[in-house]
C-alpha cells in the first residue's frame, strides 16, 4: 500500500521548514529509520529518518522548498495486504472511524528519531483520510497502484535533540558520500571544497581536515579537467541588484531582533578600562603547571568576571514575562556567546556557567566555538540562555550597542584590546585598554544597577586580585 509521510512538527512550535536535500530518490528501497532528508528549521537542521521500510514512490517537494507542518513530503510503497475499504458512514468526514467498528486496544508503536514508525497492521476496518493531490519533485503526480490507498502519517515532535545540527553537510545520499566525519564535512562546506574530488589519507581512506585544507592550496579544476582560477560568477553587465529569499536562520534572527528592539527598551552603557593586569595574568597562566595545555584567553576571563558580577547584581539575570505579568529571577547563569557562522548569527549558551572554574569555562568556550565553526551546534544549546556576551573585538571593533537576545535582560559587548597611552601611577604609559558595552532592558534593570554590574566586571579585569574583595 502507499503511505504518505507529512512534515512533522520538529519542535518548539515551528510551523515551517525548508527541504535542504533529499538523500533518496523515487524507486529507492529504504529501511526503517534510514535518513532520507535534511530539513532545515529556523534554528537547526534535522536529519529526517524514514518512518517506514519500503520503496520511495514520490518526492512531493523539491530541495529549497519551504514546507509547512502537515504537508506531504514523500510517499512510500510498503509491504502488506490491502485491507478492505470501509463504507463511509452517512454524514461522516474523512478520517472519522466507523461508528460500528469494534474498539481495539492501543498498540505500542516503536519510536523513531522523528515521530513514530508505521503502526502494526491491524485487523478490522482501518481509519481513512481523504487524499489531496500533489505533485512530486518533478512536477508530475506519482502513479500509485490502482488497489492502493494512501495512508497519512502524522508524527509527533522530535524525540531527541541528537539529530538536530547546523546545516553544513553535503546533500548527496549516504551511500555516495565520501568517507569523512561530520566536522570534516562541515569544514569542507565552509571552505567550498568538494569532498568527492579528494582521496583520504586517514585510516582506511578516511578524508581528514588536513586533506581538506591541502585541497585549498591546489588550483581548482574545471569539469573538463583543465585547471582554472576563475572566481565565482559575478552579476552580469547592467545588473544592479541580486535578490535571494529570506529563510531559515537569517529569517529567524531578523524576527527575533526586531521583536527584541521594539519590545524591550534598550539602554547601553560604556566603560573603558586598563586591562593590562588581566593580560599579565593570562601570560602567567601559560607557564602555570595547573593550566598547562589549556587555552585561557581574554573572553574566558571576561566570562568568569561576568558570572561573579551577576552574583552581586542579580537584576541583570532576569526575564520579563509579559503573559504572566511576572519578573523571572534566574538563580543560575546560562551564558550565551554570540557566534557568527556561515548560516548567520547564533547564540548558543553554556549551561550553569556560574558553577564553572576558569579552566572549565575556557574549555566550554573552546568547545562551543569549535562546534559553531564546524556547524554542529545543537538546537538544544540555543535555548534557555539567561545573559549573553558578544565579542566584537575579534572584528577590530572598539565598542557597540548590542541588541538583547530575546528573553534576556542584558548583553555585554567586549571590544578590542589596544595598546595606547594611559594614566598609570601618576604618569603616562602604554597600556592594554579595552571598552565594555552593556545593553540592558530598562524595564528590568535601572541605570544604577546596570552601572554597578558593568563597574564590577571592569574592576575584576583592571585588577584580578580585587575578586578577593567581591566573593
Give the total residue count for the chain. Answer: 471
Identify the band that residue 91 occupies on the pLDDT scale cut at 50, 70 and 90. very low
Contact between 2 and 145 (Cβ < 8 Å): yes
What lies within 8 Å, CB to CB, of 359 at 6+ separation is 290, 291, 294, 296
Share of the chain above pLDDT 70, in %: 67
Look at 310 and 48; give whichever has higher pLDDT.
Answer: 310
Question: How far apart are the C-alpha atoms of 294 and 125, rounded to whole Å?
Answer: 65
Q: Half-sphere exposure of 21 toward its Cβ, with a 13 Å CA cutoff?
A: 12
Q: Is the pLDDT of residue 128 over 60?
A: no
Alpha helix segments (H runs only) across 267-388: 276-286, 298-312, 358-374
Contact between 369 and 441 (Cβ < 8 Å): no
What lies within 8 Å, CB to CB, of 117 at 6+ separation is 32, 33, 51, 52, 109, 110, 111
Look at 110 and 346; give whichever has higher pLDDT.
Answer: 346
Q: Of 46-50, 90-94, 233-237, where does the model show the most confidence?
A: 46-50
Instruction: Give, as one character, the DSSP assignment of residue 362.
Output: H
Identify the band that residue 250 occupies on the pLDDT scale cut at 50, 70 and 90. low
Question: How far apart are the C-alpha atoms of 72 and 429, rounded to whole Å?
Answer: 69
127 a catalytic residue? no
Element (H, E) at 320: strand 318-321
C-alpha cell belonging to residue 429: 604609559
Q: Is the pLDDT of residue 319 over 70?
A: yes
Question: How far apart are the C-alpha atoms of 466 and 341, rounded to whole Å?
Answer: 36
Mean pLDDT of 409-428: 95
Mean pLDDT check: name the lowest of 135-139, 372-376, 399-403, 414-418: 135-139
Model pLDDT, residue 445: 94
Mean pLDDT of 230-253: 64
Model pLDDT, residue 247: 64
Look at 144 and 387; give whichever has higher pLDDT.
Answer: 387
| Residue appearing with cell numbers 602567567 | 284
Cα dihedral 395, 397, 403, 407 sign: positive
Strands 387-391 and 335-337: parallel
Domains, the chain, ranges and CATH?
A: 1-81+109-119+130-165 (2.40.50.100), 178-219 (4.10.320.10), 249-469 (3.30.559.10)
pTM, to two decimals: 0.55
b/e 16-29 (16+ beta carbons within 10 angstroms → b):
bbbbbbbbbebebe
Model pLDDT, residue 11: 63
Question: How far apart are the C-alpha atoms of 341 and 255, rounded to whole Å?
Answer: 18
Q: Of 102-111, 231-240, 254-263, 273-282, where does the model show the most confidence?
A: 273-282
Angle at 282 between CA 276 and CA 287, to 5 degrees: 130
What lies within 8 Å, CB to CB, of 171 at 6+ separation is 20, 21, 22, 23, 38, 63
Model pLDDT, residue 15: 77
Mean pLDDT of 117-128: 42
Let me know if 428 is exposed, middle or buried by CB neighbors in 10 A (0-12, 13-18, 19+).
exposed
Q: Is the pLDDT of residue 19 over 80?
A: yes
Question: How far apart are the C-alpha atoms of 343 and 105, rounded to whole Å?
Answer: 47
What lies within 8 Å, CB to CB, of 106 at 6+ separation is none
Contact between 401 and 439 (Cβ < 8 Å): yes
Q: Is the pLDDT of residue 233 over 70?
A: no
Contact between 61 and 75 (Cβ < 8 Å): no
On average, the pLDDT of the chain sits at: 76
As separate numbers, helices (DSSP H) first and strands (DSSP E) second, the chain gives 7, 23
Contact between 327 and 318 (Cβ < 8 Å): yes
Identify the band that residue 200 occupies on the pLDDT scale cut at 50, 70 and 90. confident
What lies within 8 Å, CB to CB, of 357 at 6+ separation is none
Q: Is the pLDDT of residue 424 over 90?
A: yes
Task: Provide the strand spans (E) within 158-248.
Answer: 164-165, 220-221, 227-228
Identify the band that residue 378 occupies on the pLDDT scale cut at 50, 70 and 90. confident
Identify the band that residue 53 occupies on the pLDDT scale cut at 50, 70 and 90. very high
Amino acid at each position: 500500500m502507499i503511505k504518505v509521510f507529512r512534515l512533522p512538527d520538529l519542535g518548539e512550535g515551528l510551523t515551517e521548514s525548508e527541504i535542504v536535500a533529499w538523500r533518496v530518490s523515487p524507486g529507492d528501497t529504504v529501511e526503517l529509520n534510514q535518513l532520507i532528508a535534511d530539513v532545515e528549521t529556523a534554528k537547526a537542521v534535522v536529519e529526517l529518518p524514514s518512518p517506514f521500510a519500503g520503496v520511495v514512490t514520490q518526492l512531493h517537494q523539491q530541495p529549497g522548498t519551504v514546507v509547512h507542518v502537515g504537508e506531504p513530503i514523500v510517499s512510500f510503497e510498503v509491504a502488506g495486504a490491502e485491507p478492505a475499504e470501509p463504507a463511509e458512514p452517512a454524514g461522516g468526514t474523512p478520517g472519522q472511524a466507523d461508528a460500528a467498528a469494534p474498539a481495539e486496544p492501543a498498540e505500542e508503536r516503536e519510536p523513531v528519531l522523528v515521530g513514530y514508525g508505521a503502526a502494526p497492521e491491524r485487523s478490522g476496518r482501518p481509519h481513512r483520510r481523504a487524499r489531496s493531490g500533489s505533485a512530486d519533485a518533478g512536477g508530475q503526480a506519482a502513479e500509485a497502484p490502482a488497489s492502493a490507498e494512501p495512508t497519512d502519517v502524522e508524527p509527533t515532535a522530535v524525540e531527541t535533540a541528537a539529530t538536530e545540527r547546523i546545516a553544513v553537510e553535503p546533500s548527496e545520499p549516504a551511500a555516495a558520500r565520501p568517507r569523512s566525519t561530520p566536522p570534516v564535512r562541515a569544514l569542507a562546506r565552509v571552505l567550498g571544497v568538494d569532498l568527492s574530488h579528494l582521496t583520504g589519507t586517514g585510516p582506511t581512506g578516511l578524508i581528514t581536515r588536513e586533506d581538506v585544507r591541502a585541497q585549498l592550496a591546489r588550483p581548482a579544476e574545471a569539469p573538463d579537467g583543465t585547471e582554472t582560477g576563475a572566481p565565482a560568477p559575478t552579476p552580469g553587465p547592467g545588473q544592479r541588484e541580486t535578490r535571494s529569499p529570506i529563510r531559515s536562520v537569517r529569517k529567524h534572527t531578523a524576527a527575533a531582533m526586531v521583536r527584541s528592539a521594539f519590545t524591550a527598551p534598550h539602554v547601553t552603557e560604556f566603560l573603558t578600562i586598563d586591562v593590562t593586569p588581566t593580560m599579565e595574568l593570562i601570560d602567567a597562566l601559560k607557564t602555570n603547571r595547573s593550566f598547562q595545555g589549556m587555552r585561557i584567553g581574554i573572553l574566558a576571563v571576561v566570562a568568569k568576571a561576568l558570572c561573579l558580577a551577576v552574583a552581586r547584581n542579580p537584576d541583570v539575570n532576569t526575564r520579563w514575562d509579559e503573559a504572566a505579568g511576572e519578573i523571572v529571577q534566574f538563580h543560575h547563569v546560562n551564558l550565551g556567546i554570540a557566534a557568527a557562522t556561515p548560516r548567520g548569527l547564533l547564540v548558543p549558551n553554556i549551561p550553569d556557567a556560574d558553577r564553572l572554574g576558569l579552566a572549565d569555562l575556557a574549555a566550554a568556550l573552546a568547545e562551543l566555538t569549535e562546534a559553531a565553526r564546524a556547524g554542529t551546534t545543537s538546537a538544544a544549546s540555543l535555548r534557555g540562555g539567561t545573559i549573553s556576551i558578544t565579542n566584537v573585538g575579534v572584528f577590530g571593533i572598539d565598542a557597540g550597542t548590542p541588541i538583547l537576545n530575546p528573553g534576556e535582560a542584558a548583553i555585554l559587548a567586549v571590544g578590542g584590546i589596544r595598546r595606547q597611552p594611559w594614566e598609570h601611577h601618576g604618569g603616562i604609559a602604554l597600556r592594554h585598554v579595552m571598552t565594555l558595552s552593556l545593553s540592558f532592558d530598562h524595564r528590568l534593570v535601572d541605570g544604577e544597577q546596570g552601572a554597578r554590574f558593568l563597574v564590577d566586571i571592569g574592576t575584576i579585569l583592571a585588577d584580578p586580585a580585587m575578586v578577593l574583595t567581591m566573593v
